Amino acid sequence: MKKDYYEILGIDKSADAATIKKAYRKKAIEFHPDKNPGDKEAEENFKLAAEAYEVLSDPDKKARYDQYGHAAFEGGGFGGGGFNNMDDIFSQFGDIFGSAFGGGFGGFGNSGPRRVKGSSLRIKVKLTLEDIALGVEKKVKVKRKVKAEGVTYKSCGTCNGSGQVTKIQNTILGRMQTSSPCPSCEGVGQTMDYTPPGADRDGMQTIEETVSIKIPAGVADGMQLKVGGKGNEAPGPNSVPGDLIVVIEEIPHETIVRQDENLHYDLYISFAEAVLGGTKEVETVTGKVRIKLEEGIQSGKILRLKGKGLPSLQGYGTGDFLIHVNVWTPKKLSKEQKDFFEKMKENENFMPNPQKSDKSFFEKVKEMFS
Ligand SMILES: [Zn+2]
């Protein structure tokens, strides 16, 4: 059982943004790895507090959490909470420590230089229903900033590579020591050594790279996938690249309509086919399927092809392909055909006689949504 985020931070549900931030800062300092070296439990609490703060500090995620609890972020890994490594926490929330730990930069405490993360890039990927049904690997061209070939960095002379400068002041309370990020290297601890031609002043250049993205089956319009490390790189020898955020865009299908994992298809058959029955070929998202029409099939009948829909992203099976039968009534008839129907008008075989099994349109709709 996962612990409640409010409980982790020791606040109640009515807490405002400032209170949430204050509560997180308190917990983060309490369980900070610098204060608890080698303490696994403290590290776990430190991660949990960051996870709770990540969700509760984001109005969108907080609303989802308030409504659905932890279930809001389960399965699929889309926008969920949780951190696997400490560096992620520091790169995201490092500034919350303020002056409590050195200059307030990320990294473990005030001794290490700041670790810079490159910015994220966003791209849209258009997918057909066929792509979504089977999952697909897409190759996309991404313009990203990378460290130029041949670039070298050297330890910053101002701070000797620590990223921090220390000032000692005499005050009425005695000697005070304050640390702040080094102004020469902005806390990174490194400065440019050799800048190759064609690189900018940070030693970076923009390249076009083909990135291969594996898209799982069952995704939907608007979902976001993260490709770690394929965003912009940041300068410096110890920097980490940003991420590539892939936004899914679904291309509407010409004849098939998606409803979550189920697919709907309108099949039109002639009056003669409805009377005589027969077989029909239907194009699903995973290929052609031959279906049998019974003799005397009614308009409005729904034929269900089990498991021929889309797979659930969370792995809860596969949806169905629903074929809605529509009988096409002829509009133009020859004199001879008209005479035939004229004769059949009062024939008892042509009289509507719905059975219990011939559910009305409304009953079918009700059934579909229940
Ligand atoms: Zn420096």
Contact 5, 55 (CB under 8 A): yes
Residue-wise pLDDT tens digits, 123-170: 999 999 999 999 999 999 999 999 999 999 999 999 998 888 988 878
CA–CA dist 304, 79 (Å, integer): 34
Distance 39 CA to ligand 1 centre (A): 31
Span from the CA of 104 to the centroid of ligand 1 (angstroms) = 15
Sign of CA dihedral 254, 257, 262, 265: negative
CA distance 16 to 221: 32
Rounded to the nearest angstrom, the distance between the alpha carbon of 158 and the centre of ligand 1 is 5
In sign, the C-alpha dihedral spanning 17, 18, 20, 21 is positive
**CA 165–ligand 1 middle distance (angstroms):** 8
Taking the centre of ligand 1 as the mean of its atom positions, its distance from the CA of residue 42, in whole angstroms, is 31
| Tokens matching residue 87 | 């560096």
Q: Which amino acid belongs to residue 172?
A: I
* CA of residue 237 to ligand 1 center, whole Å: 14
> What's residue 71's pLDDT?
77
pLDDT at 175: 79
pLDDT of residue 87: 62
Residue 291 CA, ligand 1 centroid: distance in Å: 73
Ligand 1 center from residue 30 Cα (angstroms): 29
Question: Among residues 238, 202, 264, 294, which one has the least CA distance to residue 106?
Answer: 238
| Token pair of 147 as six digits | 């460290």
Tokens read off for 222: 């608007």
CA 258 to ligand 1 centroid distance, Å: 56
> Do residues 188 and 117 touch, judged by C-beta distance below 8 A?
no
Residue 57 backbone zone (phi > 0: left; psi -120 to 50: alpha; other: beta) = alpha
Name the nearest CA neighbour of 252 among 128, 120, 104, 338.
128
Run of H or E including 59: helix 59-68
3-state secondary structure of 88: helix
Beta partners for 265?
256, 323
In degrees and rounded to multiples of 5, residue 336 shows phi and psi of -65, -45
- Give the separation between CA 292 and CA 70, rounded to whole angstroms: 46
Query: pLDDT, tens digit, for every residue of 220-234?
Result: 999 999 999 999 999
Q: Which two tokens stand for residue 114?
A: 């700041």
Residue 181 CA, ligand 1 centroid: distance in Å? 8
Going from the Cα of 115 to the center of ligand 1, the distance in angstroms, rounded, reads: 13
In 3D, which of 86, 151, 122, 142 has the Cα closest to residue 226? Answer: 122
The rounded Å distance from CA 151 to ligand 1 centre is 18
129 Cα: distance to centroid of ligand 1 (angstroms)? 53
Give every residue of the chain whose pLDDT is below 50, as ranges. 76-81, 98-110
Q: What is the pLDDT of residues 200-258, one digit of tens each?
A: 988 999 999 999 999 999 999 999 999 999 999 998 888 899 999 999 999 999 999 99
> What is the CA(147)–ligand 1 centre distance, in A?
20
Q: Quick one: the chain helix, strand, coil %, rounded to 5?
A: 25, 30, 45
Torsion-angle region of 236 (φ positive above 0: left; ψ -120 to 50: alpha; else: beta):
left
**Residue 366 alpha carbon to ligand 1 centre in Å:** 69
Tell me the residue type at 221.
D
Q: Which two tokens stand for residue 157?
A: 């002379």
Q: How far is the CA of 153 from the centre of ligand 1 (A)?
A: 12
